[in-house]
Structures are given as structure tokens and as C-alpha cells.
Amino acid sequence: MNDQTKRRILFVDDEPMVLKGLQRSLRKMRTEWEMRFSSSSQEALDILAAEPFDVIVSDLRMPQMDGTQLLAEVKRKHPQVVRIILSGQVEQETTFKSVQLAHQSLSKPCDADILKHTLNKLFGLRNLLEDESIKRIVSQTETLPSLPAIYTEVINELQASDPSVQKIGDIISTDLAMTAKILQVVNSAFFGLVRKISNPKEAIMLLGTETIKALVLSVKIFSKFNQKKFTWFNFDELFNHSMSVSMFAQTISKEERLDQYLINNSLMAGMFHDLGKLILVTNFQEPYQQILDAARQNKRYLWELENDMFGTSHAEIGAYLMGLWGLDYPVVEAIAFHHCPEKSLSNSTGLLTAVHFGDAYDRLKCDENGADELKQLDRGYLDNLGVCHRIDDWQLVCKDLAERKV
Ligand SMILES: [Fe+2]
Ligand SMILES: [Fe+2]
């Protein structure tokens, strides 16, 4: 591997002993990685300003500027740099905060093989999203939806030092059409609420900010597509499917006792797993109509036909857009690989598992043969995770949820 193709990695830790240990244990990677070691956040930022890097691996606890602050700066100034946190056992709570800034968290001491595997996985997603076919498709689209301003306003309020439910409710209420749709959704049997909700503030109090956040974004995005212009595609059906998958994904995430951060993000991942379809429907009308017909007639998977025609599928296109919007890595990963999870190289149960299962389960009801079989499930992937024995339980909890909806 020559110097041009080597990955450039910057390690940051205020303890010289830790840096020395890292240097020693990672020596064998010198042929593949160009490594720099820095003992302070400020110095690391100076190095990043002077030279390009692919990855930063940072400690959490450091004087002056800690790892969370450092990664926030790196995210702002050098968004293309992959961010990894290295944390000790006692730092679990801070890790929870920083996980939103990092693409991945690893625990100390850092094993070279684990770091190598993690980096390969992260670069895998990055390469996938940098694929020329996706860029070509995206560059041809005229209506690439942008992140709605009202969603950014809600996020800003949530990130304020003292977020107020009243204020978030007021922000949502300014958009009457969106509010009406959100109230219609939260009052549907899906949420199983015993009393009727009449305003956004009540909805936030009962369902929590994560649910409302996902609803604001999805209702707003879906509202941008005019059903009358696309009579051959049913947007409501896609919205309902996305809603179902998000609820199933959240239920599986809770069943598997995933980290609260992942549970919070499961709705978002489920809600937008098929976002790429919206882009293809609205920008490639004729070819996409043909693909939809062919999928129905030939009983082939839509994503396979998309790959044949566009060289990429709605999964990667949706993930690319979510990545552009700055959504968190696990959400982007879950969307990118929801049809082919084995390609993710993911080795633990997470959002991708939950969305993959939720999608396959929701497809059951569309099966014209009424087969009681989860055809879309990638059993090899689930077997590798050691969770095949959980499939029956997942089916039961999803069935309960779906029956509540009817
Ligand atoms: Fe899909
Ligand atoms: Fe789907």
C-alpha cells in the first residue's frame, strides 16, 4: 500500500502512557495506516487544519477541551472525517452524550483488530454512499427534498439548555396542515391512546419528543409530494408502511434492550427506510413506473430491479440523503442496508436488525399468496448475530402491535 492509499488516522489522548500504548499495539498497522498521535484537543484541531485525515480517534476525558467538545468541532469544521470515541468503563454516561457526535464508540484498551474492523465497516458505508451511481442519480434529481425549516426549529428548541414542551408545541402549531396530519396519526389506533389528543403539546407529553420529532419530519416530507401528479404511486400506502416499520423497529429495539439512544432513533430509521423511493418516483417517473410493474408481474424484489436499472437502489439513495441531512450514523446504516444487512459487516444487533425485521414483517400483509413466511428476512445475517431464535418472539410482539392498529 503506497502513502497515497493509506488511511490517515489521528489519535488524541491527554495521557502520554495511553498514547505510547496505542503506538505500540498499532505498530503492525503501519503498512496500512498513516498514524499521528496528539496529546491535546487544541493540538489535534491544529493538525486537522493543516493536513487531511480520514479518521479521528479521541479520548473523552481531557483537560480544557474534552472529547465531546473536540468531536463537535471536528464535525463542524471537517464533516468528512470519521469520528471515533475511545472511552474507559467509568465514562459510560458521557459516552451516551458523545455517541451522537461519534460514528462509533470503542472501549479502552483499544485492540488493533477491533479498530481495524470498525474502520473497515465505517469506510464501507462511506464508500457505498460515495458510489458514482448514487451521485449520478442525485445529480439528475430536480426535487431533492431539503431538511424542513420547521424540523430544524424543533431540533434547536430540543437542544436548548432548557427545552420547553410549550414552545415545541407552539412551533408545530404554526403549520396547520402538518398539525392536523400529526393529530390524525397520533389518534389512530396505532398508538393505542385511550383518550383523544387535541393539540401538539398534549401529543408531546404523551408520546415523547422523539416520536414527535420523527412525525414532524416524516409528515412534512411526505406533504411535499402531490398525489394528484403521481396517480400511479400511492404515497399514503408508503407513509403507512413507513409508520408501521418504525413502530415495529421501535418494539424490536425495546425487546432487545438496545441502548436508549438507539431506541430513540429507531422511529426515525423505520420512518425513512424507504425515503429513496420518493426520490425515484418523483424524478424518474417513466422508468420507475416500469420497474414497479415489473416487480409486481415478475415477483422480483423492487430493489433488485432498481439496481439493474440505476446501478443503485432506494436504500442507498435514502441513506445518502439522510447522511446529507446530518442524521446519526446508525440511522443512515439501517437505511442503507435494510434489504441486504449482511453487506453492512455489522456484528451486533442494532437499528439495522430492527428495521430489517420490521420491513420484512410488514411485507407479510402484502403477500398475495397469504404465505405466513418472512420471505425478505436475511436468515444468514440473523444467524451470524445469534438471534434466529428470537424471530418467533419478534413476530408475536409485532403481531400484537399490528392488531392494535386494526
Ligand atoms: Fe425498502
Ligand atoms: Fe420498506
The domain spanning residue 112 has which CATH number? 3.40.50.2300
Q: Do 95 and 151 belong together in one domain?
A: no
pLDDT at res. 323: 78
Q: Do 88 and 121 belong together in one domain?
A: yes
How many angstroms separate the alpha carbon of residue 340 from the centre of ligand 1? 10
Provide the CATH number for the domain around residue 264. Answer: 1.10.3210.10
The structure's pTM equals 0.76
* Nearest C-alpha neighbor of 101 from the set 70, 126, 127: 70
Q: Which three cell numbers stand for residue 302?
A: 423492487
- Kindly list the protein residues that place their beta carbon closer than 5 angstroms to ligand 2, a single-atom ion: 274, 359
Q: Do 87 and 55 belong together in one domain?
A: yes
- Asked if residue 282 belongs to a domain, the reply is yes
> Count of domains in the chain?
2
Ranges in the chain, pLDDT < 50 = 90, 92-93, 95-96, 370, 406
pLDDT at res. 93: 47
Q: Do 378 and 322 belong together in one domain?
A: yes
What whole-number distance in Å separates Cα of residue 96 and Cα of residue 99? 5
- Asked if residue 1 belongs to a domain, the reply is no
Q: Which of 103, 130, 157 is the last residue before a domain boundary?
A: 130
Residues 143 and 169 sit within 8 Å (Cβ to Cβ): no
Residues 198 and 183 sit within 8 Å (Cβ to Cβ): yes
What whole-number distance in Å separates Cα of residue 397 and Cα of residue 393? 6
Q: Do 207 and 316 belong together in one domain?
A: yes
Q: Do 397 and 256 belong together in one domain?
A: yes
Q: Do 221 and 324 belong together in one domain?
A: yes
Q: Which of 130, 147, 168 is the last residue before a domain boundary?
A: 130
Q: Do 176 and 275 belong together in one domain?
A: yes
Q: Do 198 and 320 belong together in one domain?
A: yes
How many angstroms separate the alpha carbon of residue 275 from the centre of ligand 2? 9
Neighbours of 285 (CB within 10 A): 14
Q: Which three cell numbers stand for residue 20?
A: 505510547
- The CA angle 215-219-223, to the nearest 5 degrees, is 175
How many angstroms separate the alpha carbon of residue 19 from the centre of ligand 1? 44
Q: Do 272 and 323 belong together in one domain?
A: yes
- Asked if residue 2 belongs to a domain, the reply is no
How many angstroms separate the alpha carbon of residue 357 from the centre of ligand 1? 12
For residue 122, give its domain range.
Answer: 7-130
Neighbours of 94 (CB within 10 A): 16
Q: Do 121 and 191 belong together in one domain?
A: no
- Asked if residue 29 belongs to a domain, the reply is yes
Q: Do 251 and 393 belong together in one domain?
A: yes
Residue ranges of alpha helices (H) inside 27-88 are 41-50, 67-77
| 3-class SS string, 125-181 | HHHHHCCHHHHHHHHHCCCCCCCCHHHHHHHHHHCCCCCCHHHHHHHHHCCHHHHHH
How many angstroms separate the alpha carbon of residue 251 from the centre of ligand 1? 19
pLDDT at res. 106: 78
How many angstroms separate the alpha carbon of residue 316 from the centre of ligand 1? 10
Q: Is 86 helix (H, G, I), strand (E, B) or coil?
A: strand
What whole-number distance in Å separates Cα of residue 160 and Cα of residue 234? 38
Q: Is the peptide bond before 109 cis (omega within 30 degrees of 0)?
A: yes
Q: Which three cell numbers stand for residue 34?
A: 498513516
- Asked if residue 94 belongs to a domain, the reply is yes
